[in-house]
């Protein structure tokens, strides 16, 4: 199977995982104090903002699939200086916010599935990036995948 096809399969998997996170109804497995709802909203809206800013930061390197474009360049500044996959970080923040708001153990399980999915998708994408950009392995060794280090 060629890389483009595999890349589109990753996108399809992402649609399925996120669709389930969005469409499976919440339950009342626990109650949230008000401050948890505030954290959930900050994660959700902060994640949306991060996805938008990180996507714009890629410029001509932005693609719908995890396969790098021929015209793109390796971006290591802005949010990409903090984490290798800030778009995925933003999506995972959105999922975390929705999970906190849902008060559902089913959503907690789905959030774990989403994290594992994006971790594996990122690992596959990093193989493609390493082949396309000779500097990628050194960048990856210095920059965390999803969660920024508090101090460098």
pLDDT for 34-46, tens place per residue?
999 999 999 999 9
pLDDT at 33 over 70: yes
Residue 39 lies in a domain: yes
Residues contacting 146, CB < 8 A, separation 6+: 83, 84, 85, 88, 89, 92, 118, 119, 122
Tell me the pLDDT tens digit for each residue of 105-120: 999 999 999 999 999 9
Largest CA distance in the chain: 50
Assigned domain for 81 exists: yes
Query: How far from each other are the two terminal CA atoms of the chain, in whole angstroms?
Result: 40
Report if residue 8 sits inside a domain.
no
Q: Is the pLDDT of residue 152 over 70?
A: no
**How far is Cα of residue 7 from the mean position of the Cα atoms in its chain?**
15
Model pTM score: 0.94
pLDDT at 16: 97
**Number of domain units in the chain:** 1
Q: Residue 74 is part of which domain span?
A: 32-142
The yes-or-no verdict on residue 144 having pLDDT over 70 is yes
**Distance from C-alpha of 60 to C-alpha of 70, rounded to nearest angstrom:** 10
């Amino acid at each position: 199977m060629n890389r483009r096809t595999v890349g589109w399969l990753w996108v399809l998997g992402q649609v399925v995982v996120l669709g389930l996170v969005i469409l499976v109804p919440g339950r009342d497995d626990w109650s949230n104090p008000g401050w948890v709802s505030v954290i959930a909203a900050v994660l959700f809206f902060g994640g949306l903002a991060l996805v938008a800013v990180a996507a714009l930061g890629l410029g001509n390197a932005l693609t719908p699939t995890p396969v790098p474009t021929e015209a793109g360049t390796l971006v290591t500044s802005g949010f990409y200086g903090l984490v290798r996959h800030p778009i995925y970080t933003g999506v995972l923040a959105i999922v975390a916010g929705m999970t906190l708001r849902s008060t559902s153990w089913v959503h907690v399980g789905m959030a774990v599935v989403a994290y594992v999915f994006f971790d594996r998708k990122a690992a596959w994408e990093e193989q493609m990036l390493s082949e396309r950009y000779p500097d990628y392995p050194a960048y990856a060794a210095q920059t965390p995948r999803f969660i920024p280090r508090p101090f460098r």
